[in-house]
Structure 1
């Protein structure tokens, strides 16, 4: 399934894209957030699949700095660009290619997870039943 999805032949679950990190990223927070979001998607997917049409096609991006982060985030349905070394402690969030808000503080992970949940609930058609 992973091979088919990675090649773009078929979607089974939302795709989470994360940067590998570089000299601009001295924090591991973006990697921790990417892992947390991936786990959240795996946990929620059985319910989402039953409730919403097309949710398996959703794309998410968790990026580690504002150099490449915004571009990658704009290509995802929901993306976040966390601050890198020397950058302002702010994390811009992009929804469907547009910057919608900036997260700050200690609750960035929980707030971003809530944004993903809200996106699913408001952007995907609820199945009849």
Structure 2
């Protein structure tokens, strides 16, 4: 119901109430409210990271770890990037755990990666603006993808003179 009301423009305030963890501040309520607005496409606050939930093809935690690293990195940089790279809050990144659903989801993101799943070759195709741009291999896939994301942001959202 909240989503329908917000999309219809009814109301101008969202209040989220959550039970906080013992000893923690109630700031998670604000984070959830912002995420609701962003999920509805009403406002963008941070780049979004889409990651697969995992299945029988994804027995490693590599895709989960990379998705968290990228999400944490993007959120950490946003106070600086918000002014330096206008529009970066609309960036969509996909971190997927296998080549079955990964390429499709990655093509719908601005930049995405499909990590190898169980029994798949140790290769990770990277998609930029819907097109396969390269394939990463080896032990440094996470570091290389991190650098690719940062470079993409600089090129796409950097000031043009």
TM-score, normalised by the number of residues in structure 2: 0.77
- Aligned equivalents of 1:33 and 1:105: distance in 2? 15
Residue 127 of structure 1: how far off its partner (Å): 7.9
- Aligned equivalents of 2:82 and 2:47: distance in 1? 11
1:28 aligns with 2:61: yes
| Structure 2: gaps spanning 5 or more residues | 1-33
* Local SS of the residue matching 1:70: helix
* Local SS of the residue matching 1:11: coil
* Local SS of the residue matching 2:134: strand
Larger Rg: 2
Stretches (4+) displaced over 2 A: none
1:49 aligns with 2:86: no
Corresponding residue to 1:105 among 132, 138, 151 = 138
- Aligned equivalents of 2:88 and 2:160: distance in 1? 11
* Local SS of the residue matching 1:61: strand
TM-score, normalised by the number of residues in structure 1: 0.96
State how many pairs are aligned.
Answer: 128
Task: Check whether the contact 1:62–1:79 (CA below 8 A) recurs between aligned residues.
Answer: yes
| Structure 1: gaps spanning 5 or more residues | none
Quick check: 71-80 or 103-112, which moved more?
103-112
- Aligned equivalents of 1:45 and 1:93: distance in 2? 23
Which structure has more relative contact order (CA 8 Å, sep 6+)? It is 1
1:7 aligns with 2:43: no
